A = this chain, B = another copy of it.
């Protein structure tokens, strides 16, 4: 048998998963309830209510998919894509490509437009494409962790609404860290993850969607043999059912509503964790929480630049919760990361595809977005670089970050 697991304590500064809130971990160790226990179904209702507030929406539907973030993307896309539907994806990093991968598998005719990694689209460019292609669905990433960029969405959403396209947004990296205004930005469906700015372990994907999406979903509704009533059997579908059973939002709606029609067995402990995680977000308050994320980002950037490092994607559309750093010439980025992890227990991230070996990605998300974490990260990175004889300004980074913190002891409460 394998040896018992003795956990190491890490400082996790990747763009996810990040450190889980201690209160969330405590909630997850609570003894479980049965899935149809009224105490449990009332938790399900509470989670829906709190999720609506985090998504800034009045949508009825707001609940988690039981799977990691991309399970939420797939649940929404496969429930609304009919084979042959035109789907437009503006791609500005790896997770835009993921949207095309999923849409293609469900038979969509996928149209992409690309901009250079490290930049975002002018909304007008995307609007032009929407008007030209007239897609059934436009799907966009909000916070692209592969490049550390944040795509402005409101004008694109408005255009989709005018054109009758459904607007689907991957808010996995942004929810809980910066505004995701589902209603105000005309987003028809938004998908989040737990392991980033919500600081809940990976394993659930909160989603929300409006009546426009619900209508598409309901037209494909099918109740399973074995639990369907005679009435269900009589109900004629106009369209073939959704391609996936697990991700079928029409079935999930019956489970997340008073009918409580058995679909899966809700992931009890994950739901406890999600409930506590969202509660912490709402207790802190959205505005204060977003301000805190901006504040620690400033300290981190100041420190990195004082060290002499340059930032990748350092512009107005930078994602506040992910800071990408250009790896200096002739430096083995992975060796630096490994030294940081092995000697300091500090984890930062490598990167994907065309950026592999070119940038490090440092997250300041949720519970990991704390003063001591930023200071530890700067210390460890500086030490690792010096240990590899990389020419940097020694001793400046932490001092610069401290200045930011000492200058602003008042403004931010929970920092």
Contact = CB atoms under 8 A, between A and B. Distances in A.
A264 to B, nearest CB: 4
A39 interface: yes
A37 B66 contact: no
A2 interface: yes
Interface residues of A, number: 87
B67 A66 contact: yes
A101 B246 contact: no
A213 B203 CA distance: 26
A329 to B, nearest CB: 23
A245 B26 contact: no
A26 B5 CA distance: 12
Interface string A245-277: 111000000000000001111111110110110
Interface in A10-29: 10, 12, 14, 16-17, 19-20, 25-29
- Of the listed residues A94, A225, A226, A244, the one surrounded by the most CB atoms of chain B closer than 10 A to its CB is A226
Given A7-B31, A25-B30, A203-B66, A227 B74 contact: no
A221 B171 CA distance: 28
Nearest to A338: B38
Given A267-B203, A352-B262, A5 B97 contact: no
Interface of A: 1-2, 4-5, 7-10, 12, 14, 16-17, 19-20, 25-35, 37, 39, 43, 46, 49-50, 66-71, 74, 78, 93-95, 97-98, 100-102, 105-106, 146, 193, 195, 201-203, 224-228, 241-247, 262-270, 272-273, 275-276, 279, 282-283, 341, 347, 352-353
Given A25-B269, A94-B227, 6 more contacts: A2-B279, A10-B37, A14-B34, A17-B268, A69-B264, A203-B268
